Structure 1
Amino acid sequence: MEQLQTPDAASLSITAPQTLRVIKRNGDVAVFDVSKIAVAMSKAFIAVEGDNAATSSRVRDFVAEASRTIAETFQRRMPDGGTVHIEDIQDQVELALMRAGEQKVARAYVLYREAHARARAAAGDDIEKPHPTLNVTALDGSRRPLDLGRIETLVFDACAELANVDPNRIVEEALKNLYDGVTVDGVSQALMMTARTLVEKDPNYTYVTARLLQDNLRREALSFLGVAEEATFGEMAELYKPAFHAYVARGIEFEQLDPRLAEFDLERLGDALDHTRDNAFTYLGLQTLYDRYFIHKDDVRYELPQVMFMRVAMGLSLNEDDREGRAIEFYELLSSFDYMASTPTLFNAGTLRSQLSSCYLTTVPDNLDGIYSAIRDNALLSKWAGGLGNDWTPVRALGSYIKGTNGKSQGVVPFLKVVNDTAVAVNQGGKRKGAVCAYLETWHLDVEEFLDLRKNTGDDRRRAHDMNTANWVPDLFMKRVFDDKEWTLFSPSNCPDLHDLYGAAFEKRYEEYEAMTYSGQLKLYKRVRAKDLWRKMLSMLFETGHPWITFKDPCNLRSPQQHAGVVHSSNLCTEITLNTSVDEIAVCNLGSINLAQHVTDGQLDNEKLGKTVRTAVRMLDNVIDINYYAVPQARNSNFKHRPVGLGIMGFQDALYALGIAYASDGAIEFADRSMELVSYHAIEASSDLAAERGRYESFDGSLWSQGVLPIDSIEKLRVERGEQYIEVDTSSTQDWGRIRNKVVKQGMRNSNVMAIAPTATISNICGVTQSIEPTYQNLYVKSNLSGEFTVVNAFMVNDLKERGLWDEVMINDLKYYDGSVQPIDRVPDDLKAKYASAFEVEPKWLVEAASRRQKWIDQAQSLNLYIKGVSGKKLDVTYRMAWFRGLKTTYYLRALGATSVEKSTVERGTLNAVSNGGAPKPTPAAPAASEPRGIEDFLSGKAGSGSRAPSASEIDDLGCEACQ
């Protein structure tokens, strides 16, 4: 036989990184040598074609090119180096031969591999058996043999009771990536990496990955607490209780936990911990808890999932008579995912600084001392993780007279620049960027400049790139838009009473001021065409994502607290509508019912829902008394009115469980009936709490005291606005007369009870779709500190499996079509309707469902609007419909241009990164401001041609994590 003349690495022009290593079958590690790939392929050719192949230029050229390609493949995968198993290299050789059409050579190569595998098995040195040279490096640097038995126990535990998962495959694949001297964490990472790459094959692998992650969590926490070096899932049945005891003691010692936690009956609470509930987490949910929520000391997380839920439950039970009984009740609700508290409550309950509230609303007065006091309040509230909504309408406009200096005002905008920079500087206690939203009424003379705040062009001194903005729109302006009439802009220094007026009283006084401009009594004003201003509002919303559009009059006319003040703005996420003044900073405490957990046997479980709501309202009410208040105006307001905001999440999951498409009359009906039941139980729960604990201080004179419930207040809006400008369904199914009588007799514990928050983060914890949102994509990639992983719609996969349609081809089609089933011909029409994603649901369905919910809610809802093929006309119709259907607020606009070509499933944004750092700003659903679009282009639809869909990660807007 002629001697092989194979190319070496130098002749192949490939230099493998020095840190790239190959793991051999016996666990030894060697330097990656590309020439050995060339030798293996050359031998395969000689075995088929004989000795002539050794000198064939065709073979030599192919071997050189294929070897180079294989080496480059691993370089791309691991640009900074790493380890690759010998089997992975051989897989690539096999693939290269097949792709080149060298079928006979590929077959010979496969047979060669199989023969050698049989020989190794016969010799007793198969990798699946323990090998004396494969050791693990412990945390203290010591080495011990790899315990394959423990690995199998961990993996088989992780796969227990999960269908369509293969523990043997995970073990075998993970072992290929282990080498002698691998660290303990390296073993865990190999297992998790293997499991999570299989998520796209079956959604249950996300639970497997989460359970494998728990091994890391347990090792880190248990060793730190001195309970055990490590533990399996089964061993945690005995170890959770001592870990809980040690955790409370160490947390108090570190001055991180409230010392009052030690006064609880820890034996009783330890017995209530249910270790099996750790298995309910998805990988994303558990990783989110680990990276953001678990209490840590010197970067060591010593809090475990069930311990965290019990800590929160204890923190909310501090003032209860039966503290242990209530703590267990609260724990059951949280750990089952039936209900989840908001992020500040999860962060801080049971700690020394129990800032548990989510939202703060302030009004900024028209004087320098008041303005900077308000900015100071922003800083203090933001420090302790509060989301802020500022009402800036009272501040005089540009060009207004300043009596004290005999000068002219620079208007609102320069102060907003300061607010913007304060939010960046005071980054919520170092956990994430401060978040604030400024509100301005549409009649304010500075409104046009306010609309431009988020643009990337113009004078940067009059721009605020990091804060949110929102329009506070009176009904009269919308009427002028509908009727194509003029609109007059004023400075509040000349008409200060407009700020506190709404409904018919506002219209009357506004028209009086307009008359003064014609008579010459008012000099500082500007007249514009209402439709032109409306178009600019929509144009800026599309171009920059701001200002959001919210409606002043329905927020006030339907507010239970009309007798106690005025709602001057909403909050950072547009779901809170509470009174504010110079003396009162409104505060709201949030939590969300997981609707998906309350669908049983194909219908909403009213009995379970009622029980959950009752406990949830009690937990929210407890927050008010336990809460830390950074400023006195917030404490005074919260104790006087005691508002809470109970919301929902998992709405889309509930629809899936019921077999209902989002874009359907069935979904509209479910939105109506489900919110009616939540409202019914929440109002009754607050009234019963009033009987137990007393009414809130300002109850007398409220709509509640008059027997006017949220569903009844629609009539007041209808009368004040005018029949021709509103259309809202007012049907009901519950015995509301009984609730009215109870409320009038017993009173209410809380001035406001319901608000639907975004829930992007806490819904991830619970593993359900956020809030009231439609599914953004059915298959997409998320990223966190551990890398990228796949999220797939489990409901869709199960339905496709039932019809024999879930296979590799379907997976690849979903990847190609950005998670959409619509272009896939073999997906039946009923499943296409059921699994339509957000941009495939016409916005009219979103608005109609929101309208049905709004009639039951005493506050508002964070309503994102998704619009595909966006045009000026479509935006105009959508937002007019939102007002016409009685909505109080809207939130983000997610717009997708008709000619968008980007594949959002493969974008690698940072907004979804699960980290402790500041959350970046959401990318506007629009073209960059450096490519300005004129209003006429926008209205004609031309502006939509350059827009794109926000990525799946951008939809989880973490800028407002307080509400989530």
Structure 2
Amino acid sequence: MNRMVINRDGVREPIDVDKIREKLIKGCEGLDINMVELESHIDTIYQENITTKRIQESLINLTVSMTNFESSHWTNVGGRLLMMEIEREVYHGRGYAYNDFYKTITDLCKNDLYDNRLLDYTEKEINELNKHMVPDRDMNYDYAGANMFVNRYLTKYRGEVWELPQEVFMAVSMMLSLNEKKDRVEKVKKFYDVLSQKKISLATPILANLRVPNGNLASCFISAVDDNIESIFYNVDSVAKISKNGGGVGVNLSRIRGKGSVVNGYLNASGGVIPWIKIINDTAVAVNQQGRRAGAVTVALDTWHIDMEQFLELQSENGDQRGKSYDVYPQVVVSDLFMKRVEENQNWTLFDPYEVRKKYDVELCELYGDEFEDIYRTLEKDESLQIVKKISARELLKEIMKTQIETGMPYIFFKDTANRLNHNPHRGMIGNGNLCMESFSNFSPTKKFTATREDNIGISKNTLGEVHTCNLLSLNLAEIEDIELEEISILAVRLLDNTIELTKSPLRESDRHNELYRTVGVGAMGLSDYLAYRYLMYEESAEEVDKLFEKIALYTLKGSALLARERGQYKLFSGSSWDRGIFFGKEKQYYIDNSEIANEWAEVFEMVAAYGIRNGELTAVAPNTSTSLLMGATASVNPVFSRFFIEKNQKGAVPRVVKHLNDRSWFYSEAKKIDPKEYVHVMSKISRWITQGVSMELLYDLNKDIKAKDIYDTIMTAWKTQCKSIYYTRTIQKNSNIVREKEECESCSG
């Protein structure tokens, strides 16, 4: 008896066993698995009148359930079957699949799904690009990557998927090349190849928004709030606009007067920063990221601020619930002086920024280094100051540590280190880090708010500050060959520089920052894959990692110098450290005397002296926990949590498998088995070659004999080895293997 299925049109027809087998052969091709094992389960999924779609879904679920440590390639079969199913759905939905890219573009532009600028390309050019497209690259995704691609990035129309993965990469590449003056189609092909071969991973805003109308491409924003009601609510409005467009926001609150400070001449009238944080918190919740999730905001406060102790209680379970803000991400801004006081077990003094400003005409949060230390010591001697509190520096750090273990936060930003290595100190300073602590540059508050009226028209004016703005991508070290590193690093800088002209920023201050600095952030993922492939253990690889990221620093800098020759240098280049011949805190002679690639450094020093560079900031290493799944690589520059595990969520189970599990599994060092101080040592090697920062995540296994001193020593090691920031603190809870997780900012996930 023929077994009957119901096809897409609702018609009963005999099951086509040959077609199923053909898909299974393609799904298993080249993989170290036995297809017969899968075929033997086919009978178990058949039900009377089952749909063809349901059969395909059941086959995919079978491959997922069959994935284990010994047979990890079943997840690749699942990914391939899912991609084949999506191609089938697209074919039935819009009437064609691959091989008619011109029709794809015209149809999607007509339905406002694609940016009409794609039609700047001629039909002849698009047909040439169609021939360059490689549909079989869809087969390079495991189930986790394919599942993410389908559900997060493919454009949908009337609830159905309406584009295919290789079309995504080609359309994005076309947008990236819109403003190229020479060989535009060839540039498209180059961008397409590195994206579709997973050598470069784009941050979520670029991959999701670049080909759609009016999409924001920037990942990271940081603003500063001045100490007045106009600035406070202006920044609340800015948080709403950024969140609406899918960006992650950092907000510096250190200028706001503390609790008990003067308001309109009345002492004890100020409620301090905590009430304003609650408003920011509620704004982030109310204005979600394009319907996907609540907005993501980190609020930053300097450790000398009089409200610091209350700030540390923002997310703790104890205390007055009216002072809690559970949807923001607190970070503390730490000076070298504070860390020295901790080390020497000395007192630390908290001040009210308003009182300091009124008496000394100085904005304490805008100072760092010797200038900060001089005025801070003067303030400590001033007995006339009224809003002052002396505490133990070490006890304050203990409170920070305690809160980190309980909540994963606050993040820590080492302000003096970041500003000491800032390449643009001639124009300002860096007040704190962004949402994922990897992206930061100069920023300043908008000031001088005035409002006038002309008849029935209200006119508001202000003096624009600068909102740090950065577009991100990651080099996928799991896929890049050593011989390709220079070319792809240079191409990555060009790619990101192109996005600056294409993006639609939600803020004028963001546009201004882009115009002045042209900040980009080339990052990295797949470091653990890179090391395992070379039979290197993570915790023993500090010197190898140091050399790798030195090359990335050199090549990205070279790429920006080449762009400067072609397009001009960034506006604030003159007077910068780059202009003065100081790269990463060191002059040319250091590289000549100490680097194994001294000749290449000498060449780049000459290029920068001749042409300048195109981008004020070049590199930033994001956590990219989610998009590393898409790329089939380990996240960021971190060790893996586990070589193999099944991630279970509301949508089902997803196997998480490292790239080289079959032949190099034991060279994947698991984070829970690495001493956090050894991890920090590797991070410090990377950080010294990054112009911005690295999302350094600490992990403590509380099942081990972890003492407060171990955590203290790890933080002190991070400071002493010149790390710029500490991102999230994860813990493995006692008597379990479960890590207390956090939600990642999608914007930084590239």
Q: 1:413–1:839: structure 2 CA closer, same or farther, 3 Å change rule? A: same
Task: Please state if 1:709 is matched with 2:586.
Answer: no
Partner Cα separation in structure 2 for residue 624 and residue 288 of structure 1 = 26
Cα deviation code 1:878-933 (max 9, x no counterpart) = 00000000110011112235xx22243xxxxxxxxxxxxxxxxxxxxxxxxxxxxx
Partner Cα separation in structure 1 for residue 234 and residue 492 of structure 2 = 35
2:461 counterpart residue number? none
2:721 counterpart residue number? 885
1:280 alignment partner AA: N
Work out which of the two has the higher radius of gyration on C-alpha atoms and give 1 or 2.
1
Partner Cα separation in structure 2 for residue 160 and residue 513 of structure 1 = 72
Residue correspondence of structure 1 range 253-652 to structure 2 within 5 A: 253-264=110-121, 265-321=125-181, 322-403=183-264, 408-496=269-357, 497-516=363-382, 520-582=383-445, 583-599=465-481, 605=482, 607-652=483-528
Using the TM superposition, give the Cα deviation of residue 785 of structure 1 relative to its aligned residue in structure 2, in angstroms: 6.2
Residue correspondence of structure 1 range 129-278 to structure 2 within 5 A: 131-132=1-2, 134-163=3-32, 165-200=33-68, 201-227=70-96, 239-242=97-100, 244-264=101-121, 265-278=125-138
The answer to whether the 8 Å contact 2:5/2:48 transfers is yes
Residue correspondence of structure 1 range 834-853 to structure 2 within 5 A: 834-853=667-686
1:384 alignment partner AA: N
SS at match of 2:626: helix
Using the TM superposition, give the Cα deviation of residue 407 of structure 1 relative to its aligned residue in structure 2, in angstroms: 6.2
Cα deviation code 1:221-258 (max 9, x no counterpart) = 1222211xxxxxxxxxxx5221x233212211121211
Q: 1:359–1:181: structure 2 CA closer, same or farther, 3 Å change rule? A: same
Using the TM superposition, give the Cα deviation of residue 836 of structure 1 relative to its aligned residue in structure 2, in angstroms: 3.4
Using the TM superposition, give the Cα deviation of residue 521 of structure 1 relative to its aligned residue in structure 2, in angstroms: 2.3
2:233 alignment partner AA: Y
Using the TM superposition, give the Cα deviation of residue 358 of structure 1 relative to its aligned residue in structure 2, in angstroms: 0.3
Cα deviation code 1:846-891 (max 9, x no counterpart) = 1111111111111110001122333211100000000000110011
Q: 1:406–1:478: structure 2 CA closer, same or farther, 3 Å change rule? A: closer
The answer to whether the 8 Å contact 2:204/2:746 transfers is no
Partner Cα separation in structure 2 for residue 540 and residue 888 of structure 1 = 20
Using the TM superposition, give the Cα deviation of residue 186 of structure 1 relative to its aligned residue in structure 2, in angstroms: 0.9
Partner Cα separation in structure 2 for residue 508 and residue 789 of structure 1 = 55
Residue correspondence of structure 1 range 20-31 to structure 2 within 5 A: none
1:465 alignment partner AA: Y
Between the two proteins, what is the percent identity of the paired residues? 31
The answer to whether the 8 Å contact 1:861/1:889 transfers is yes
Partner Cα separation in structure 2 for residue 853 and residue 401 of structure 1 = 45
The answer to whether the 8 Å contact 2:676/2:714 transfers is yes
Q: How many aligned positions are there?
A: 714
Could you say what the CA RMSD is over the residues aligned between the two structures, in angstroms?
1.8
Q: Which stretches in structure 2 are left out of the alignment for 5+ residues?
A: 358-362, 446-464
Partner Cα separation in structure 2 for residue 563 and residue 571 of structure 1 = 21
Residue correspondence of structure 1 range 841-920 to structure 2 within 5 A: 841-868=674-701, 869=704, 870-896=706-732, 900-904=734-738
The answer to whether the 8 Å contact 2:581/2:588 transfers is no
SS at match of 2:40: helix
2:607 counterpart residue number? 742
Partner Cα separation in structure 1 for residue 31 and residue 212 of structure 2 = 36
1:653 counterpart residue number? 529
The answer to whether the 8 Å contact 2:697/2:727 transfers is yes
1:51 counterpart residue number? none
Using the TM superposition, give the Cα deviation of residue 534 of structure 1 relative to its aligned residue in structure 2, in angstroms: 1.0
Using the TM superposition, give the Cα deviation of residue 732 of structure 1 relative to its aligned residue in structure 2, in angstroms: 3.0
Q: 1:670–1:788: structure 2 CA closer, same or farther, 3 Å change rule? A: same
2:730 alignment partner AA: R
Q: 1:872–1:845: structure 2 CA closer, same or farther, 3 Å change rule? A: same
Q: 1:536–1:671: structure 2 CA closer, same or farther, 3 Å change rule? A: same
1:627 alignment partner AA: T
Q: 1:407–1:522: structure 2 CA closer, same or farther, 3 Å change rule? A: closer
2:460 counterpart residue number? none
Using the TM superposition, give the Cα deviation of residue 457 of structure 1 relative to its aligned residue in structure 2, in angstroms: 2.5
Q: 1:640–1:793: structure 2 CA closer, same or farther, 3 Å change rule? A: closer
The answer to whether the 8 Å contact 1:558/1:714 transfers is no
Which has the larger displacement, 778-787 or 197-206? 778-787
SS at match of 2:474: strand
2:175 alignment partner AA: G
Partner Cα separation in structure 1 for residue 672 and residue 721 of structure 2 = 21
1:638 alignment partner AA: N
Partner Cα separation in structure 2 for residue 285 and residue 891 of structure 1 = 25
Partner Cα separation in structure 2 for residue 573 and residue 169 of structure 1 = 44
Q: Which stretches in structure 1 are left out of the alignment for 5+ residues?
A: 1-130, 228-238, 600-604, 717-729, 801-830, 905-948
2:485 alignment partner AA: L
Q: 1:568–1:275: structure 2 CA closer, same or farther, 3 Å change rule? A: same
